[in-house]
Amino acid sequence: MDGLELEQSSEQFLAAAPKLRAIFRAQNQACAGSLHMVGLDSLRERLGTRWPRVTDRVHMLAERLLGQLLTPKDTWFRHGEEGYIVVFAQLGKREAGLVCAKVVEQLQRLLLGDVDTAAVRVHSAVHQMGRELLFQSNNLNEMLVGAATLAVESTTAATVAETGKANAWWTHAALQEQPAQVVYRPIWDVRKEVLSIYMARIMRPRRGRQPLWGYDCVADSQDMQQILALDLEVLRQTMEVYGELYANQFRCFLSVPVHFETLASVGRRREYLSALQAVPRELRAFLAFHLVGFPQGIPASRAAEMVAFLKQFSRVVTAIVENGSQDLPALAAAGVYISIILLPPGASPKHWAIDLKRFSHEATRLRMRAGIKGVDTAAMASCADEAGFHYMAGDFIGPWSEVPENALRFTRNDLRARMDAGRRA
């Protein structure tokens, strides 16, 4: 148990004092709500001499993660050089502590590539004595054990759900998981040997189940307004993230998804146009679009109309292809620069090698660049490279992350080294 003095020098802390008192008053009334301190001292230790160079980026990422994980009723503010005070309006101590731990865990993963759960610590306020707040410190390992116990209790409680008695925390936690977030995956430019393009995709986490991806996140896939709303949200989040990166001298290209249905009607296209016009001009040079959901057999004139619309606001327009190479002539005539074939999960060279060569050769013949999405194994990476693809994306090339990275050199020697490492593992 440790204490934190409410010193006059901490103006942000004093400014939040009324909210803090309200939180503790709510706790005394048996309502939810809690206060926590997130320290970055363990991350600083692991970064060592790199810390001074990356401090601004660490705080940018931390504040971005807090913005994603908290609700509008929650609040946070900086405390000192290496910490944040986080006030949860509704979550209790245990659940809110796990949210705070996730911030530090994600920072470690983004900046170091791995997570030391024993070093992830969260300080939870448990009492207020005069001008001092007393905190209890727990590491992520301890918190996960507690969460596992709570999950068992919640499962038991679920068996009485039919009687109308809901588990309040479980219900709230489920609501906490509802907001979708945009994540990013690198695309390897094979010819230039660089990871410079990041593909954006929306994802909705679900407790105890696989997350929903892309347009599966909408409640009704037949509701075109929901599809438009999803595209608008992806564009908003992506430009918000890239605006922060751009201000901090980070540079890469972002490829944002746009569904065929978003551009298919004049009304929806007009709404999307308004959002595009709000994108700062300096960011458009780094923006690309990948069109999703093209119906099979689409006329070249119809595709060209959509491509021309997006080209006004972007560097390049690409298209995701799910039906082989039969629509490539129409896409090429429409001005699509990169055609990307989408592989299903578990695809293997044995079943796809011939189709991939055919697709790549046809795209090249039509003066397009061939891309492939779903390169999840070393075997598929080798197969795609032999087939002549210009661009590759998948688990083997790079995982999904909450923030895109700076452009990074990645050569064929790096690819072979990664394959060799996988064979030795």
- Amino acid present at 399: P
The CATH architecture of the domain made up of 179-421 is Alpha-Beta Barrel (3.20)
**What's 210-245 look like in SS3?**
EEEEHHHHCCCCCCHHHHHHHHHHHHHHHHHHHHHH
114-151 residue pLDDT tens: 667 667 777 776 555 445 556 667 777 666 655 544 44
Candidates 197, 186, 158, 195; CA nearest to 174 is 158
Q: Would you state the CATH architecture of domain 1-150?
A: 2-Layer Sandwich (3.30)
What 3-state DSSP class applies to 20?
helix
Q: Is the dihedral of CA 227, 228, 231, 236 positive or negative?
A: negative
Short-list 259, 174, 176, CA closest to 214: 259
Specify the domain boundaries for CATH 3.30.70.270 within the chain.
Answer: 1-150
Tell me the pLDDT tens digit for each residue of 155-181: 334 433 443 333 333 333 443 445 788
Local confidence pLDDT in tens for the 425 residues of the chain: 444 443 333 454 455 555 555 555 554 444 446 778 888 888 888 888 878 877 887 888 888 888 878 877 788 888 777 788 888 887 777 778 888 888 888 787 777 766 676 677 777 765 554 455 566 677 776 666 555 444 434 433 443 344 333 333 333 344 344 578 899 999 999 999 999 999 999 998 877 778 889 998 888 888 899 999 999 999 998 998 888 888 888 888 999 999 999 999 999 999 999 999 999 999 999 999 999 988 888 889 999 999 999 999 998 999 998 767 778 999 999 999 999 999 888 888 988 999 999 999 999 999 999 999 999 999 999 999 999 999 999 999 999 988 888 888 999 888 888 888 766 65
* Rounded Cα distance, 60 and 81, in Å: 13
Q: Could you give the CA distance from residue 21 to residue 13 in angstroms, rounded to a whole number?
A: 12
Longest CA–CA separation in the chain, Å: 76
Q: Which residue ranges does the chain devote to CATH 3.20.20.450?
A: 179-421
Task: Report the C-alpha gap between 318 and 338 in whole angstroms.
Answer: 5
